Amino acid sequence: MNPKQIELIMAPPEPHFVGDGFRVHTFIPSSYRVDMHRTNPFIMMDYNSKHYFAPTDTPRGVGVHPHRGFETVTIAYKGKVAHHDSSGGGGVIAEGDVQWMTAASGVLHKEYHEESFSKEGGEFQMVQLWVNLPAKYKMSAPKYQAIANENMKRAVLPGSGESYVELIAGEFDGLIGPAQTFTPLHMSNSKLKRGDSVGYQFPASNSTCLVVVEGNVTVNEESVRQDHFCLFERKGEYFKIQAESDAVVLVLSGEPIAEPIAAHGPFVMNSREEIVQAFNDFNQGKFGTLAD
Ligand code: MN
């Protein structure tokens, strides 16, 4: 087994707003050697670094919009998000929870700060990922998984005894995470006390990356600071994260989907024809209905 080396460490790019509720740094795709193919099946990653939102009676967020051909996964670190979609899926996720929405053949959805959070205001921190689907599932039925923090699997790590891996999807140390996925992938948060460490092992050919959500860590021999993104080479199997302060690290690894990617706006398909079809279907109301 060989170490998996870091290919690049990226500081958070200039933030931009998605609607008025999500102030995000887009790590994937980025202009810096990180495109959808390089990180496939993780084809988009918006990181809302910790940001204070003032109280408001009108919840901030992003209104009704479509998706087709992939899954949207939202991980809440601070604050609360409410979600509704045209297939009837929906709910509220709070700190530590995950919503896993399979858009597949198509949904309309809207994503807002939850009402009581909006009224009180507060710190807000999220990751939204787009997880690609293989061609044979792109037109399957939409699905919604609400993954409460208490349903994630926990692997306690050696050291202080207070550090653990919180498993959302895939495998760690013989445990299997609660999220159902269409291709083999791993998603976890390592919640580490200062001085503790964790080792991760994945197939060399996987797309593997991490985000330091809280604190500062050393990955292999390199320092990776809060809010930074780290992409690993597609060789070697093993890396180690050591916490230099109390830290939370989102770790992603997945088998690349070896198919062409045709992406435009909210649609990610395999060909240009399928993108045109998605726009036609959307314009003809085939994504269902959802009130503003
Ligand atoms: Mn969306």
In a domain, 265, yes or no: no
Residue type, 151: N
In a domain, 27, yes or no: yes
Phi, psi torsion values for 49, nearest 5 degrees: -65, 160
Quote the ligand 1 centre to 158 CA distance (angstroms). 38
For 228, the domain range is: 6-254
Quote the ligand 1 centre to 26 CA distance (angstroms). 14
Cβ–Cβ under 8 Å, residues 179 and 185: no
Over the stretch 205-220, which tens digit does the pLDDT of each residue have?
A: 999 999 999 999 999 9
So what's the pLDDT on residue 156?
98
Quote the ligand 1 centre to 65 CA distance (angstroms). 6
- List, edge to edge, every strand of the sheet that includes 107-113: 61-67, 107-113, 81-85, 90-93
Quote the ligand 1 centre to 99 CA distance (angstroms). 12
So what's the pLDDT on residue 31?
75
Quote the ligand 1 centre to 219 CA distance (angstroms). 32
Q: Domain of 62: which CATH number?
A: 2.60.120.10
Number of structural domains, the chain?
Answer: 1
Distance separating alpha carbons of residues 257 and 38, to the nearest angstrom: 11
Where the chain has pLDDT below 50, the residues are none
In a domain, 211, yes or no: yes
In a domain, 59, yes or no: yes
In a domain, 233, yes or no: yes
In a domain, 102, yes or no: yes
Over the stretch 17-59, which tens digit does the pLDDT of each residue have?
A: 999 999 999 999 987 778 999 999 999 999 999 999 999 999 9
Quote the ligand 1 centre to 117 CA distance (angstroms). 20
So what's the pLDDT on residue 291?
87
Residue type, 127: V
Quote the ligand 1 centre to 197 CA distance (angstroms). 34
In a domain, 16, yes or no: yes
Distance separating alpha carbons of residues 238 and 118, to the nearest angstrom: 42
Quote the ligand 1 centre to 89 CA distance (angstroms). 13
In a domain, 219, yes or no: yes
